[in-house]
Amino acid sequence: MSKTAIHLDNISLRFGSQALFTNLTLDIEDKKITAIQGRSGSGKSSLLQVINGLIQPDQGSVFHFGEQMNYHNIYKTRMNIGYAVQQVGLFPHLTVYENITLPGRLAHWTPEENDTRARELMALVSLDEHHKQKYPHQISGGEQQRVGICRSIFLNPRILLLDESFSSLDEETKEEIHTEVIKLQQMEPRCIVMVTHDPKEAGKLGDHRIKLDQGQLYHMQS
């Protein structure tokens, strides 16, 4: 049996009067890409935020590698989970290089460690070194998304969450980035959970595919 990275145990979550999930239980395999599909409003993004603790469920527990999430010491947990969102969320006042290395600075890495890791990651996702000193608004959408991915896996987290990360990109750029993600997964395999509304993307990247509908999970044939 393959190793479980994330275990959701009997999770219930409601927003106001609307129940998003009821008694939801899920195991997500390590070192694989799990794609969660669903219509907008189905709760896909909320599910990701339950995984990294941005949302605390009303009921149930979250386990990472067998360890139950402790909401009192959430900062440490979050640092070990990469998180990339559709709007990318690069900090406009920081350069590309500063954005990528920010997690390293927060984790008190040395400048040398930061530099080595940044070079390694930029090469991995085919980001030109020239962009280092540029600000986010000075590079293309695809490049911004690559920067976002570099930043989210800077500390080499064992889990990476991708929230519609590529959906605003044009087809060609999307193709390129998909290739980078696959390459990345070969170099640094980790548990990736991606949320997408695009079945094609889910089919291409997902080792496992799950459909979220009306708060229920349906495992799909991959």
Partner 1 sequence: MRTILLLLLSVVGMSKTIAQTYRIGAKHFNEGYILGELIAQIIESEGYKVERKFNLGGTAVCFEALRNQAIDVYPEYTGSLAEEILKSKESLDHQQLNNKLRIEMGLEISPSFGFNNTYAIATKKDFAVKYDLQTISDLRQLPSLSLAFSYEFLERQDGWANLKSSYQLGFTPVGIEHGLAYQALMNGSIDMTDVYSTDGEITKYDLKVLKDDLNFFPDYQAVAVYNASLDTRIKKIISRLESTITEEEMQSMNAQVVFENESFYVVARNFLIDKGLVEDSMVTEERSVLSEVVSKSITHLWLCGIALMTAILVAVPLGVLLYFFSGISRPVLYFVGLLQTIPSIALLALMIPLFGIGIFPAIVALFLYALLPILRNTTTGLYSVDPVLKKVATGMGMNAWQQLRWVELPLAMPSLLAGIRTAAVITIGTATLAAFIGAGGLGEFIVTGLALNNIQLILQGAIPAAILAILIEMLFEGFEHLLLPKHLRKN
Which of residues 145 and 211 has its CB atom nearest to partner 1 in the complex?
Answer: 145
Strand pairing class (81-85; 159-163): parallel
Determine the size of the site formed for partner 1 (CB under 8 A): 24
Are residues 142 and 169 in contact, defined by beta-carbon separation less than 8 angstroms? Answer: yes
Classify residue 194 by its DSSP letter: E
Distance (Å, whole) CA 205 – CA 24: 24
Q: Is 83 in the site for partner 1 (CB under 8 A)?
A: yes
Q: Which string of b and e fits 197-215 if b means at least 16 CB within 10 Å?
A: eeeebbebbbebbbbbeeb
Stretch that binds partner 1, among 64-72, 81-89, 198-206, 212-220 (CB under 8 A): 81-89
40 binding partner 1? (CB under 8 A): no
The binder of partner 1 chosen from 9, 14, 63, 102 (CB under 8 A): 102
Alpha carbon dihedral 49, 189, 148, 153, in 10-degree steps, equals 80
Is-contact 163 82, C-beta < 8 A? no
Q: Is 220 in the site for partner 1 (CB under 8 A)?
A: no
With helix as H, strand as E and coil as C, how does 81-95 read?
EEEEECCCCCCCCCC
Interface with partner 1 includes 52 (CB under 8 A)? yes
Which listed residue (9, 12, 89, 197) binds partner 1 by CB under 8 A?
89
Should residue 75 be labelled a site residue for partner 1 when binding is judged by CB under 8 A? yes
**Binding test (CB under 8 A) with partner 1, winner from 4, 22, 59, 77:** 77
Q: Closest distance between partner 1 and the C-beta of residue 9, in Å? A: 22
Per the structure block, which two tokens stand in for 103? Answer: 């997690």
Shortest Cβ 93–partner 1 spacing (Å): 5
Minimum separation from the CB atom of position 221 to partner 1 (A): 31
What does the CA dihedral 103, 93, 149, 201 come to, rounded to 10 degrees? 150
Choose, by CB under 8 A, the member of 3, 10, 91, 200 that binds partner 1: 91
Cβ closer to partner 1: 94 or 124?
94
Contacts of 187 (CB under 8 A, 6+ apart): 124
Of 17-25, 84-92, 117-125, 209-217: span binding partner 1 (CB under 8 A):
84-92
Decide if residue 217 touches partner 1 (CB under 8 A): no
Distance CA 141, CA 122 (A): 16
Q: Which of 15, 23, 56, 106 binds partner 1 (CB under 8 A)?
A: 106
The bridge status of strand 33-37 relative to strand 208-213 is parallel
Give the footprint of partner 1 on this chain (CB under 8 A).
Answer: 52, 54, 74-81, 83, 85, 87, 89, 91-94, 102-103, 106, 135, 137, 151
